């Protein structure tokens, strides 16, 4: 068992008695003129910015509008829209109405929408525009609890004001207007309502996007999310009034924690980037002090730098390689707890100033002091390359049920290849089969049940079985090896972690996704989808691309045990996106979908047709 129990009371004291609405009021009163949130730039480069006072005023108006429509304490408000100002207003508005706000991934199919909307029993939903309304319409008749559909965009064409499917459609602006009138008549009601909220009350809910089965509604409390925000601030030293970028969907726990909750605690200025593909441009505008990224974001940044190096002249390349190697050498000493010699520290500082800092500035990462990767495994090669560039990239691990990060590497406690130690106040332990268990104040209230109650899955001692498998070393560093339910067990009885194989394959820039196949099979094969940003359609079948994929597989196999090595692979047409169904909105593989959709190709790969296949089967035993 590991943890930092001695610090738990310190962090609880920081947020004792606080709720998100209480902090929003504090920010509006004490920091009212400071910028709170900036929307995405329009075609002319202009963007709307709301101050903390303006954000709270609009939140109050929308909240009162929701109450007028019949939203009651404990009700769920379901939101489906991109990362835009109205999303923040709706989310905070529901919280002030003592309801539970929940963001549905914008990529959900109509069938998935029907499940989430039915399970949440939301009486009101807020949709972005026509595209969302069209996907909701086929299931509206099956949602008896749903009474109002609020639409942000294209109100004239999708909203009539009359009942449709037994639901009332309203423009977002109309709900705001209703709330303004109520506030003008009696502003004290709004203030009295949110002041009844207790730290233990629900603040929000998200549906886990599992690889199999129906999603579960994870309910978090104000104490959960504010303790998480305080503890991350405490161990990473976030500056006051930080500039941040919100680019992940607000259905993702990381974005909810960092942008909706942590930003209120730290009085941050959040810059919205609704399209994750535009995050590099947003970095150039904002130059944030911290950035959380899923591995693919960091891999693309690393690949971009490596691509630029190929275009540089030999002298520039040599200077970069020298500066990178020197910085990495100092980094290795620091992470090993050793002193960096003074002459080396001076050389690193000079190399950084003259070579590396300009590269980071070009990427918009020149002010970065906190860079974290999570949600999926990231390769050691990517971590080392970016740390050698002077970007302090560290891994974290957590889940929706832990309000975000449960373990975290920090600048003073960083071990490459691990996800760090438990954050203060959190304990972890391993089950007999290697499953990781977690306990602490970040653990969620429970899963929403069909009858509207919330049921906790914690055992009698307060431990949560995470479903992740890992190890804990003698110093308390946690390493995640796989999801318990995704372990490959070959026909020879070998246990293999597919994510390990896949992370090595996707290190190569030409590979967008890789799925390791081998459960109840004699050996491991792989399905590969190329990255369309790196390999254009006309180059998919080129000799150069085929050679690059072959090299990627050979590179991965060189890092794997023999039983883990990929014997055969097939390159698929792709792409794999949440819309095509092979991956979740968090870009995790949906293994059941993949194995069913490509069953014929998988069977063909395992059909023994030559001596090489027979040798591979014998080698796996």
Predicted confidence band of residue 614 (pLDDT cuts 50, 70, 90): very low
Predicted confidence band of residue 419 (pLDDT cuts 50, 70, 90): very high
Q: Residue 610 has what pLDDT?
A: 55
* 620, pLDDT greater than 60: no
Q: Residue 374 has what pLDDT?
A: 87
Tokens 């190890």 belong to which residue? 471
Report the C-alpha gap between 121 and 116 in whole angstroms: 8
Q: What is the mean pLDDT of residues 87-96?
A: 97
Are the C-beta atoms of 11 and 424 separated by less than 8 Å? yes
Does an H or E element contain 437, and which? strand 435-439
Q: What is the pTM of this model?
A: 0.82
> Percent of the chain scored above 90 by pLDDT?
66
pLDDT tens digits, 565-587: 999 999 998 789 988 999 988 78
Q: Residue 167 has what pLDDT?
A: 86
Q: What is the mean pLDDT of residues 511-517?
A: 95
Predicted confidence band of residue 471 (pLDDT cuts 50, 70, 90): very high
More confident residue, 204 or 621: 204
Alpha carbon distance, N-terminus to C-terminus of the chain = 35
- Token pair in block for residue 349: 């500082």
pLDDT tens digits, 433-451: 899 999 999 999 999 998 8
Does an H or E element contain 185, and which? helix 172-185
pLDDT tens digits, 387-400: 999 999 999 999 99
Predicted confidence band of residue 212 (pLDDT cuts 50, 70, 90): very low
pLDDT tens digits, 266-278: 999 999 998 887 8
Q: What is the mean pLDDT of residues 291-306?
A: 87
Predicted confidence band of residue 492 (pLDDT cuts 50, 70, 90): low
Q: Residue 602 has what pLDDT?
A: 95
More confident residue, 165 or 440: 440
Other beta carbons less than 10 A from residue 413's beta carbon: 17
Tokens 């070393």 belong to which residue? 473
More confident residue, 112 or 126: 126
Report the C-alpha gap between 366 and 277 in whole angstroms: 20
Q: Tell me the CA distances in angstroms from 515 to 33, 105, 486, 598, one per residue in order.
A: 50, 23, 11, 11
pLDDT tens digits, 398-414: 999 999 999 999 888 89
Q: Residue 211 has what pLDDT?
A: 40
Other beta carbons less than 10 A from residue 110's beta carbon: 12
C-alpha dihedral, 350 to 351 to 354 to 356, nearest 10°: -140
> What domains does the chain contain, in order, with CATH numbers?
20-197+240-255 (3.40.50.12780), 293-481 (3.40.50.12780), 487-620 (3.30.300.30)
Q: Residue 491 has what pLDDT?
A: 67
* 52, pLDDT greater than 80: yes
Look at strands 393-399 and 404-408 and give their pairing. Answer: antiparallel
More confident residue, 91 or 620: 91
Between 6-20, 365-379, 463-477, 545-559, the lowest mean confidence (pLDDT) is in 6-20
Predicted confidence band of residue 299 (pLDDT cuts 50, 70, 90): confident
> Percent of the chain scored above 70 by pLDDT?
93
Q: What is the mean pLDDT of residues 481-496?
A: 73
Q: Residue 110 has what pLDDT?
A: 84
Tokens 């970007």 belong to which residue? 391
Cis omega (within 30 of 0) for bond into 237: no
Question: Which SS3 state, helix, strand or coil, does residue 163 take?
Answer: strand
φ, ψ dihedrals at 370, nearest 5°: -135, 110
């Amino acid at each position: 068992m590991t943890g930092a129990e001695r610090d738990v009371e310190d962090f609880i004291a920081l947020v004792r008695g606080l709720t998100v609405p209480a902090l929003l009021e504090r920010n509006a009163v004490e920091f009212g003129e400071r910028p709170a949130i900036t929307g995405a730039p329009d075609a002319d480069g202009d963007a709307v910015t709301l101050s903390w006072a303006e954000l709270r005023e609009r939140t109050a108006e929308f909240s009162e509008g929701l109450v007028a429509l019949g939203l009651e304490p404990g009700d769920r408000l379901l939101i489906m829209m991109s990362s835009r100002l109205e999303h923040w207003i709706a989310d905070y508005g529901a919280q002030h109405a003592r309801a539970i706000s929940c963001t549905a991934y914008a990529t959900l199919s109509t069938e998935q929408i029907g499940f989430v909307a039915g399970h949440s029993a939301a009486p009101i939903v807020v949709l972005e525009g026509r595209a969302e309304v069209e996907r909701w319409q086929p299931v509206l008749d099956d949602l008896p609890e749903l009474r109002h559909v609020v639409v942000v965009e294209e109100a004239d064409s999708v909203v009539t004001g009359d009942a449709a499917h037994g639901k009332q459609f309203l423009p977002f602006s109309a709900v705001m207007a209703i709330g303004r009138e109520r506030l003008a008549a009696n502003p004290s009601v709004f203030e009295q309502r949110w002041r009844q909220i207790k730290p233990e009350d629900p603040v929000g809910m998200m549906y886990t996007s599992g690889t199999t089965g129906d999603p579960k509604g994870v309910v978090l409390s104000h104490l959960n999310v504010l303790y998480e925000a305080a503890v991350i601030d405490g161990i990473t030293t976030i500056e006051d009034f930080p500039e941040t970028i919100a680019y992940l969907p607000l259905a993702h726990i990381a974005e909810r924690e960092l942008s909706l909750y942590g930003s209120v605690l730290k009085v941050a200025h959040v810059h919205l980037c609704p399209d994750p593909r535009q995050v590099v441009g947003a970095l150039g505008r904002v130059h944030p002090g911290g950035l959380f990224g899923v591995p693919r974001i960091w891999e693309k940044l690393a690949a971009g730098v490596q691509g630029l190096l190929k275009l540089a002249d030999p002298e520039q390349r040599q200077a970069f390689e020298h500066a990178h190697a020197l910085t990495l050498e100092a980094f290795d000493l620091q992470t090993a707890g050793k002193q960096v010699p003074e002459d080396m520290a001076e050389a690193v500082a000079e190399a950084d100033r003259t070579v590396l800092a300009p590269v980071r500035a070009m990427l918009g990462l020149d002010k970065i002091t906190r860079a974290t990767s999570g949600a999926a495994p990231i390769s050691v090669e990517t971590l080392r390359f970016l740390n050698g560039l002077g970007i302090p990239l560290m891994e974290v691990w957590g889940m929706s049920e832990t309000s975000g990060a449960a373990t975290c590497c920090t600048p003073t406690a960083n071990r490459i290849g691990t996800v760090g130690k438990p954050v203060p106040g959190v304990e972890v332990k391993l089950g007999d089969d290697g499953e990781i268990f977690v306990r602490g104040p970040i653990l969620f209230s429970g899963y929403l049940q069909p009858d509207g109650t919330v049921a906790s899955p914690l055992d009698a001692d307060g431990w949560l079985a995470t479903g992740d498998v890992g190890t804990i070393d003698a110093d308390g560093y946690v390493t995640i090896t796989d999801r318990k339910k995704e372990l490959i067990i070959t026909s020879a009885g070998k246990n293999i972690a597919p994510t390990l194989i896949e992370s090595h394959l996707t290190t190569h820039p030409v590979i967008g996704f890789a799925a390791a196949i081998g459960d109840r099979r004699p050996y491991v094969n792989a399905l590969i989808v190329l990255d369309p940003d790196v390999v254009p359609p006309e180059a998919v079948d080129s000799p150069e691309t085929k050679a690059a994929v072959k090299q990627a597989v050979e590179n991965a196999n060189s890092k794997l045990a023999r039983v883990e090595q990929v014997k055969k692979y097939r390159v698929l047409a792709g792409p794999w996106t949440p819309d095509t169904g092979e991956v979740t909105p968090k870009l995790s593989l949906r293994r059941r979908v993949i194995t069913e959709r490509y069953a014929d190709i998988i069977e063909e790969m395992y059909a023994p047709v030559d001596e090489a296949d027979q040798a591979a089967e014998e080698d796996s035993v």
